[in-house]
Every structure is written in C-alpha cells, then in structure tokens.
C-alpha cells in the first residue's frame, strides 16, 4: 500500500509540473484558461455553447474537450465556428496535464483571449489533477439534489466558481436552492456562485460579464509589463 501511495504521489507531482508548463505556455499566448468540471450531464457543454454564442465578437475563445469516448462534444463546439481540440481519454476518468499539453500545440496560432478546458464528467477524480487552468468552474444541475457539495467535497473545495444550472426546472422539483448555496459555502466559503438556465438563457448575463471582467483583469499585468 505504501508503494502505491508513493507512485500516486509521483504521478501527481509530475502532473503538477506539467500543469505549470501548460500555464506558462497558456500565459505566453495571452490566454485566460478556465477548467469546466461537473458530473455527467450537468450541462458543461450546453453552458459552453451558450457562453461562446454570447461572447461572439466580444472575446475570442478556444476549447479543449475531454471525454472518455466520442467526439460528440467537439462537434457541438465546432458547429459554432470555435476552434476546438478533442481529447478522448479512452477509459481514463479525468484529464491530465500531459493530455492538455498535447492539445495545446494543436490550437490555432491566432490571437485569442479565453481557453475553456472541459473535463470528463466526474465529480471525484479530476479534483487531484491540475491542468494549468487559472480558474476552476464547477457546474451543478438542480436535478442532482442539494447535497452534492457535501458528498463530493474535494472538487468543490478546489473550485473558484459554482454555476448552478437548469434553474428553469425548479418549478417542477422539490429543490432548495438556499440549502445548496449553504452546503457549497460550508465546503468552500470563497466560491463565486451563479444560477443559470442553459435552456432559457436565464442568468447567463451575469456569468458572461464575470468572464469578461476576469479576462480584463488577467490582461492588466501583461499590459503593465510591456
């Protein structure tokens, strides 16, 4: 068992080192990188579609898609004329920095503002693997129940933002949004929270304004340095 833990620690250390390399490459290209995480079917790709449409003409975005199998999500993004690289993990339950490193070299060379990295749908395993992202955004759907931040705390603890999705379904559910917010803040008091519906578009204005502000803030030190 000790051997196994040592091997896991080595893997995570190597992953962190590669994530640091990724971050330097991402910053060299002037990008703000956002990791998107959630359970399967919480709406990461739908949020991405809505966000990319809203940001057209405002910010230039690019996407790295992570899936266990299929390039279905990459096809959805490509249909919006947004550059996208699909990573198929072939059974692996999370993205790793080395996969993102390989995807980064396939991104177009043009000037870009935002990189979204959509992880495999999984509330457990991705939490240990840094990818080089600047912000971690967890998407939680109201159909999943209130208690997920308590039951899967590691991912919520390492997140910067919580997007609560599918609020259009609230009238049809017994669901306590206040309790969810409370559970999330209990695990991570620093979370920035948004409530949205990717079906109706409700709440997405605040979320995209937040992204615009973060890109602007990310640019300041770069401009100051030149």
Pairing of strands 192-195, 161-165: parallel
Closest CB to a second copy among 13 and 222?
13
Q: Is 82 in the site for a second copy (CB under 8 A)?
A: no
CA distance 24 to 26: 5
Which pair of tokens denotes residue 96? 């790793």
Contact (Cβ atoms closer than 8 angstroms) between residue 49 and residue 80: yes
Contact set for a second copy, span 107-146 (CB under 8 A): 120-125, 141, 143-145
Q: Which residue has the tokens 């129940």?
A: 145
Please state, in angstroms and as integers, the Cα–Cα distance from residue 175 to each residue in 11, 146, 150, 181, following that order: 40, 7, 16, 12
Closest CB to a second copy among 126 and 215?
126
Closest CB to a second copy among 178 and 220?
178
CA distance 182 to 185: 5
Neighbours of 58 (CB within 10 A): 13
Select from 21-29, 63-71, 131-139, 203-211 the region that touches a second copy (CB under 8 A): 63-71
Q: Which of 2, 5, 172, 224 binds a second copy (CB under 8 A)?
A: 172
Q: Which of 57, 91, 189, 221 binds a second copy (CB under 8 A)?
A: 91
Which pair of tokens denotes residue 71? 């390039």
Please state, in angstroms and as integers, the Cα–Cα distance from residue 28 to each residue in 87, 105, 111, 154, 205, following that order: 22, 13, 11, 30, 29
For residue 44, give the 3-state DSSP assignment. helix
Select from 20-28, 38-46, 109-117, 190-198 the region that touches a second copy (CB under 8 A): 38-46
Q: Is 154 in the site for a second copy (CB under 8 A)?
A: yes
Closest CB to a second copy among 33 and 95?
95
Which pair of tokens denotes residue 221? 């030190």
Contact (Cβ atoms closer than 8 angstroms) between residue 17 and residue 96: no
Select from 95-103, 110-118, 162-170, 212-220 the region that touches a second copy (CB under 8 A): 162-170
| Minimum CB–partner distance for residue 102 and a second copy (Å) | 15
Q: Is 166 in the site for a second copy (CB under 8 A)?
A: yes
Select from 15-23, 29-37, 62-70, 109-117 the region that touches a second copy (CB under 8 A): 62-70
Residue numbers of the site for a second copy (CB under 8 A)? 4, 7, 11, 39-42, 67-70, 72, 91, 93, 120-125, 141, 143-145, 147-148, 150-154, 166, 168-169, 172-174, 199
């Amino acid at each position: 068992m000790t051997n196994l833990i040592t091997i896991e620690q080595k893997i995570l250390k190597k992953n962190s080192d590669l994530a640091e390399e990724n971050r330097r490459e991402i910053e060299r290209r002037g990008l703000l990188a956002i990791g998107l995480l959630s359970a399967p079917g919480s709406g990461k790709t739908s949020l991405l579609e809505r966000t990319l449409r809203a940001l057209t003409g405002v910010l230039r975005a690019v996407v790295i898609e992570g899936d266990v199998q299929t390039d279905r999500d990459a096809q959805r993004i490509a249909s919006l004329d947004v550059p996208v690289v699909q990573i198929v993990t072939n059974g692996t339950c999370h993205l790793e920095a080395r996969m993102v490193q390989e995807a980064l070299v396939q991104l177009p060379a043009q000037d870009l503002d935002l990189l979204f990295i959509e992880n495999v749908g999984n509330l457990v395993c991705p939490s240990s693997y840094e990818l080089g992202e600047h912000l971690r955004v967890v998407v939680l759907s109201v159909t999943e129940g209130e208690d997920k931040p308590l039951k899967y705390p590691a991912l919520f603890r390492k997140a910067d933002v919580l997007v609560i999705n599918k609020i259009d379904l609230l009238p049809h559910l017994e669901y306590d949004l206040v309790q969810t917010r409370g559970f999330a803040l209990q695990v991570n008091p620093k979370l920035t929270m948004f409530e949205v519906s990717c079906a109706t578009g409700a709440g997405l204005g605040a979320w995209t304004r937040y992204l615009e502000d973060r890109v602007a803030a990310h640019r300041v030190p770069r401009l100051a340095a030149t």
